[in-house]
């Protein structure tokens, strides 16, 4: 998956989680629900608290069409 596809996927997973929790697509309930959430994204578990995100970060080396994982932070 490329970085654009991954970003779009993450955004849709975030919206799905927040909208489900808010029970609405109205802005105020969405903002309230987004203040503190957890969801599974393409990289693993994403946690948002107080406007800050905590998620796995991967450092990899390209090898043709594959990647070799060097480290996970």
User: How much is the average pLDDT of 45-50?
Assistant: 92
5 CA to centre of own chain: 12
Work out the pLDDT band at 3, boundaries 50, 70, 90: confident
Angle formed at CA 41 by CA 35 and CA 44, multiple of 5 degrees = 105
Tell me if 31 sits within 8 A of 18, measured CB to CB.
no
Which helix (H) or strand (E) segment holds residue 42: the answer is none
pLDDT reported for residue 27: 96
The H or E element spanning position 3 is: helix 3-22
| Domain count along the chain | 1
* pLDDT higher than threshold 90 for residue 39: yes
**Structural domain of 65:** 3-72
pTM: 0.75
Planar angle of CA 69, 3, 73, nearest 5 degrees: 40
């Amino acid at each position: 998956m490329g970085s654009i596809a991954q970003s779009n996927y993450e955004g849709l997973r975030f919206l799905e989680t927040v909208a489900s929790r808010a029970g609405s697509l109205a802005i105020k309930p969405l903002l309230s629900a987004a203040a503190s959430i957890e969801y599974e994204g393409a990289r693993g578990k994403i946690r948002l608290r107080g406007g800050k995100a905590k998620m796995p970060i991967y450092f990899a080396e390209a090898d043709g069409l594959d990647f070799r994982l060097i480290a996970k932070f």
